[in-house]
């Protein structure tokens, strides 16, 4: 009888111990479940038969299936045959060889396709059982955003190209219209025999050509906001040589650095340079001698500086109402961009210094 009671007591102690261990396991299981449920990304664990043995609440929400409906089942029970086969091939590779796998995947849930980045890794417990842990990152919104941004970029690029074509065409047409105006002046000039009238018409044509050159350069460039001012000055001198047939007795000495200016500065400065060139040719030339016209372009104390002059006989001085049209226009063009105009007095020739802000006033 005593033995029976001892056995009963031992059995009771074992029962209590088992209940305690069961409670501890349940507590540990709940604690572990709470940990994985705190992970915002969908997480799952599969056994060696590729069946779900554990999922977190984010995974339940993502696939819209309760935990009880997931555990013990495989991907083939929920997803398309094609998708399930892709997942199975990846899972087999990981369970067999280990390592960490990062994979771009597509998953269809209730007719809606998601773009995923899934990381999977193999773990082994104390009894050498293999399990697969997977963590999902849903990048569908980012992918869609990327697609939308690309589409928007393509649309903007197309619009930009169209605008570039339109601007090129506009500059080309302006250049042609200015040429038409120049031709009209030539026709009108032919009605007069007076040489002074011819000079006046020609000077107007040179001013028009100075404007047309800007549009000609813009037609050939992809940057419609800035013009290489050095290139523009070279074009002005080249055109002036051809139009005045100056190759034999007028030489240009250019010392220029590359400075990019906007159109609103280029046109007034181009016209100012043109006026100085015309005045030098008109007043500085000495019969039987060559004439050198120089242009130096540089930056000093943050300002663009133009030094222009010649080695000719100089030009007559005019003051007040006696100023020539060219001198008045020169001052007007400089005033347009708040440029400082200085007449530099040297022993020989006529010399100017023009300084201005390259970004405009």
Residue range 176-230, pLDDT digits in tens:
877 888 888 888 888 888 888 887 887 788 778 777 777 777 677 666 677 888 9
The label of the residue with tokens 């990304």 reads: 41
Across 84-100, average pLDDT: 87
Across 108-128, average pLDDT: 83
Host H or E run for residue 328: helix 325-336
Q: pLDDT class for 322, splitting at 50, 70, 90?
A: very low
Across 8-25, average pLDDT: 53
Across 96-111, average pLDDT: 80
Q: Between 138 and 295, whose confidence is greater?
A: 295
Q: Torsions phi, psi of 137, nearest 5?
A: -120, 120
pTM of the model: 0.51
- Cα 94 from Cα 133, distance rounded (Å): 10
N residues, the chain: 361
Among 73, 138, 146, 151, CA closest to 109: 138
Q: Report angle CA 259, 263, 266 to the nearest 5 degrees.
A: 55
Q: pLDDT class for 267, splitting at 50, 70, 90?
A: confident
- Cα 6 from Cα 153, distance rounded (Å): 85
Highest mean pLDDT, choosing among 123-127, 155-159, 247-251, 322-326: 123-127
Tokens of 98: 């280990």
- Cα 93 from Cα 109, distance rounded (Å): 25
Tokens of 76: 């083939």
Sheet order of strands, 340-344 included = 250-255, 291-300, 303-310, 351-356, 340-344
Q: Which domains does the chain have, with CATH numbers?
A: 32-138 (3.30.450.20), 140-222 (no CATH), 225-361 (3.30.565.10)
Note whether 284 and 257 are within 8 A (CB): no
Contacts of 274 (CB under 8 A, 6+ apart): 206, 207, 209, 210, 236, 240
What count of other Cβ atoms lies within 10 Å of the Cβ of residue 311?
A: 21
Which pLDDT does position 312 carry in this prediction? 82
């Amino acid at each position: 009888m005593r033995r029976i009671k001892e056995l009963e007591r031992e059995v009771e102690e074992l029962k209590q111990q088992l209940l305690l261990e069961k409670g501890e396991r349940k507590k540990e299981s709940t604690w572990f479940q709470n940990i994985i449920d705190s992970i915002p990304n969908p997480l799952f664990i599969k056994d060696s038969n590729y069946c779900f043995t554990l999922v977190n609440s984010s995974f339940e929400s993502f696939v819209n299936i309760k935990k009880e409906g997931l555990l013990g089942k495989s991907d083939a029970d929920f997803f398309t045959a094609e998708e399930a086969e892709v997942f199975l091939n990846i899972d087999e590779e990981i369970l067999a060889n280990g390592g960490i796998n990062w994979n771009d995947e597509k998953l269809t849930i209730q007719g809606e396709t998601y773009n995923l980045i899934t990381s999977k890794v193999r773990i082994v417990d104390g009894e050498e059982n293999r399990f697969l842990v997977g963590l999902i990152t849903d990048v569908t919104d980012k992918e869609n955003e990327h697609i939308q941004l690309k589409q928007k970029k393509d649309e903007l690029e197309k619009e930009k190209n169209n605008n570039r074509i339109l601007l090129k065409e506009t500059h080309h047409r302006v250049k042609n219209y200015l040429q038409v105006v120049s031709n009209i002046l030539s026709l009108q000039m032919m009605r007069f025999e007076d040489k002074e009238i011819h000079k006046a018409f020609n000077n107007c044509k040179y001013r028009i050509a100075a404007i047309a050159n800007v549009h000609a350069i813009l037609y050939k460039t992809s940057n419609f906001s800035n013009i290489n001012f050095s290139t523009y000055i070279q074009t002005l001198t080249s055109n002036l040589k051809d139009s005045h047939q100056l190759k034999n007795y007028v030489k240009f000495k250019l010392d220029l650095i590359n400075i990019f200016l906007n159109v609103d500065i280029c046109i007034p400065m181009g016209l100012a340079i043109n006026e100085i060139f015309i005045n030098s040719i008109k007043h500085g030339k000495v019969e039987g001698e060559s004439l050198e016209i120089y242009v130096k372009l540089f930056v000093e104390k943050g300002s663009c500086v133009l030094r222009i002059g010649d080695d000719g006989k100089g030009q007559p001085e005019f003051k007040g109402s006696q100023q020539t049209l060219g001198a008045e226009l020169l001052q007007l063009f400089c005033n347009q961009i708040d440029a400082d105009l200085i007449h530099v007095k040297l022993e020989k020739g006529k010399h100017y210094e023009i300084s201005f802000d390259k970004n405009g006033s």
